[in-house]
Structure 1
Amino acid sequence: MLIIDSPSNNAYFNIATEEYLLTRFPIEEIFLLYVNAPSIIVGKFQNTLAEINLDYVKEKGIKVVRRMSGGGAVYHDLGNLNFSFHKVLGDDDFGDFKPFTQPVLNVLNRLGVPAVLKGRNDLLVEDKKFSGNAKLARKGKMIQHGTILLNSEMEVLAEALIPNPLKFIDKATKSNRGRVTNLINYLPKTTTTADLKNYLTEEIHQNNPGSKQYSLTEQDIAEIEKLAAEKYQTWEWNFGFSPNYNFQKAIKIPAGFIEVHLDVHKGFIEKAKIYGDFFAEKALEELESKLIGQKHEIEDLRNTLSTIDLTGYFGKVTLDEVIEVFK
């Protein structure tokens, strides 16, 4: 087994690393560890906008990255350690998460933490979740990866993952917001993610004779950065890949009540309908038609709407006021 400690805290890079390793090491077993700077990692089949507090995420500069596996959205920061097992896909039960969560439990139990695997894929301590796990099968290999909340900023986690569920009607996988906790509440206060890395690395070495450390080469890093730039940093993957959805929102501004309904396909607006009690000088159908084919992305919509005389459709309004109804 190869043990790899990512040299980066960039979520785009680290999520790309998981995919890159499938091709780089098609038959080797791998244990990957990485820590991301503040970021939200959404499941492959999720509607990204329905999982995040977009305004807050943008204000805080939190990266949003879609991963290859299913499951729910999770928040990462420097107080969260991520682990990833890669092995050749065999006759193992794909739905069994225990084999690859057991090393984590072994380490924590030895440290006096009463951690357990509960349900299908969550690790809990005193009925509070500190680790969510997900799986995928691809290119003849299986990846199981998970989080370990050690000392994450819980206030940021809570704010970043509180979208308005009433805005979206879709069939995308929804995240389960259970009670979560930091392991630092059960460990010595000086414990760091580097300490957990060391404990887990020792555990893997002991249980996998012949395992060895592998450092990403300059060529590895260049290939990962290329994949990150072409896929994991793009709007098309992180937002546009979302399942189709219907968006609706209503706001009250000085000019009146505005309500917007959108049908969105692969991130692009296919249908738009606007309602309200404002006084429109121009036909709203004109404005609705201008929205067709636009990305459901605030900066793109801002650019489009900034070229239009909105007062003709809504009366005395500002661009910022109208933009609010599309968020």
Structure 2
Amino acid sequence: MLIIESPSQDAYFNIASEEYFLTRFPDEDIFLLYVNAPSIIVGKFQNTLAEVNLDYVNAQGIKVVRRLSGGGAVYHDLGNLNFSFHSLLANQDFMDFSKFTAPVLTVLNNLGVPAKLEGRNDLLVDGKKFSGNAKLAKNGKMIQHGTILLHSEMAVLGEALKVNPLKFIDKAVKSNRARVINLNEYLPEAADTNVFKALLIKEMVRNNADATLYTVTDDDIQHIQALADSKYSSWDWNFGFSPNYNFKKAIKIPAGFIELHMDVDQGHIQKIKIFGDFFASQPIEELEALLHGRKHQLSDIEQVLARTDLTAYFGKVSLEEILTLFH
């Protein structure tokens, strides 16, 4: 088993590293550990916009990254340790989450924390969740990865994942907003991510005679960064990959009531209809045609609206007012 500590706190880099090491070591067991700066990691089959409070996330500079595995969206920051096991799929029961959460539970139980695996894939203390886990199978290997909340910023977590569910109608996987806690509420002494990381590594070495500490090379870093740049930081992967969805929103502004309905396919607006009691001197269908095929991304929509005389369609309105319809 190779034990790998990521040298980076960049979410694009660390999520890319999971895919990279999967192909870099096709026959090796791997235990990968990383900590991300503030970021939201969404499941592969989720509608990103329906999981993320985009206004808050953008204002706070929080990165949004889609991972390869399914499951729900999670918030990462410097108070959250992430672990990832890579193993040959043929040797594993894909639906069993207990084997690779056992080391985390052992460390915690030895510290006097009554943590346990409950349900399918969550680690809890006194019925409160501190770790969510997910899996994927690829190239004959299995990855099981999870989070460990130690001293995360809970207020930020709550705001970053606060979304109005009425805006989206789709069949994408929805996150279960279970009550979550920081483990530092239960640990006898405050333990940061580095302390807990060291305890986990010690436990893995104790139980795996072949465990070897692997140092990430400059060549590894170059390849991981290239994958992060081309895929994991791209709009196409993080937003455009979302399942098809219907989006609707209504606003009341001085110019009147305006209601927007859109069908979005792979992140692009395929159907759009705008209703309301506003007064227009030009057919609203003209504006709808301009927006057809554009990305459901504020920067793209703003480009179209900024070069359009919006007063011809809505009366006395501002660009900012109409933009609020789309997020």
Q: TM-score, normalised by structure 1?
A: 0.99
Give runs of ≥4 in structure 1 deviating > 4 Å. Answer: none
How far did residue 92 of structure 1 move?
A: 2.4
1:223 corresponds in structure 2 to: 223
Matching of residue 44 in structure 1 with residue 44 in structure 2: yes
Which residues of 2 match residues 48-87 of structure 1 at below 5 A?
48-87=48-87
- Give the Cα separation in 2 of the matches to 1:159 and 1:65: 17
Question: Any conservation in 1 of the 2:111–2:188 contact (CA below 8 Å)?
Answer: no
Question: Any conservation in 1 of the 2:262–2:272 contact (CA below 8 Å)?
Answer: yes
Matching of residue 5 in structure 1 with residue 5 in structure 2: yes
How far did residue 188 of structure 1 move?
A: 3.7
| Amino acid corresponding to residue 127 of structure 1 in structure 2 | G
Matching of residue 295 in structure 1 with residue 295 in structure 2: yes
| Amino acid corresponding to residue 13 of structure 1 in structure 2 | F
Task: Spell out, residue by residue over 1:278-324, the C-alpha distance to the aligned partner (whole angstroms, 9 max, x if none).
Answer: 00110011011111110000111011110000000000000000000
Q: Which runs of 5+ in 1 are unaligned?
A: none
Change beyond 3 A, Cα 1:17–1:61: same
1:199 corresponds in structure 2 to: 199
Task: Spell out, residue by residue over 1:247-267, the C-alpha distance to the aligned partner (whole angstroms, 9 max, x if none).
Answer: 000000110001000000000
Question: Secondary structure of the equivalent of 2:240?
Answer: coil
- Give the Cα separation in 2 of the matches to 1:319 and 1:215: 51
- Give the Cα separation in 2 of the matches to 1:260 and 1:228: 34
- Give the Cα separation in 2 of the matches to 1:67 and 1:210: 29
Matching of residue 118 in structure 1 with residue 113 in structure 2: no
Identity of aligned residues (%): 68
1:137 corresponds in structure 2 to: 137
- Give the Cα separation in 1 of the matches to 2:184 and 2:138: 35
- Give the Cα separation in 1 of the matches to 2:127 and 2:106: 18
Which residues of 2 match residues 1-327 of structure 1 at below 5 A?
1-327=1-327
Task: Spell out, residue by residue over 1:186-216, the C-alpha distance to the aligned partner (whole angstroms, 9 max, x if none).
Answer: 1144311001100000110011102010011
How far did residue 240 of structure 1 move?
A: 0.1
- Give the Cα separation in 1 of the matches to 2:189 and 2:40: 25
Task: Spell out, residue by residue over 1:52-89, the C-alpha distance to the aligned partner (whole angstroms, 9 max, x if none).
Answer: 10100000000000000000000000000000000011
- Give the Cα separation in 1 of the matches to 2:91 and 2:2: 22
How far did residue 49 of structure 1 move?
A: 0.1
Question: Secondary structure of the equivalent of 1:226?
Answer: helix
- Give the Cα separation in 2 of the matches to 1:232 and 1:304: 27
Q: Which runs of 5+ in 2 are unaligned?
A: none
Q: TM-score, normalised by structure 2?
A: 0.99
| Amino acid corresponding to residue 88 of structure 1 in structure 2 | L
Question: Secondary structure of the equivalent of 1:90?
Answer: helix
- Give the Cα separation in 2 of the matches to 1:55 and 1:189: 36
Question: Secondary structure of the equivalent of 2:90?
Answer: coil
Matched residue pairs, number?
327
Question: Secondary structure of the equivalent of 2:84?
Answer: strand
Cα RMSD over matched residues?
A: 0.6
- Give the Cα separation in 2 of the matches to 1:91 and 1:7: 30
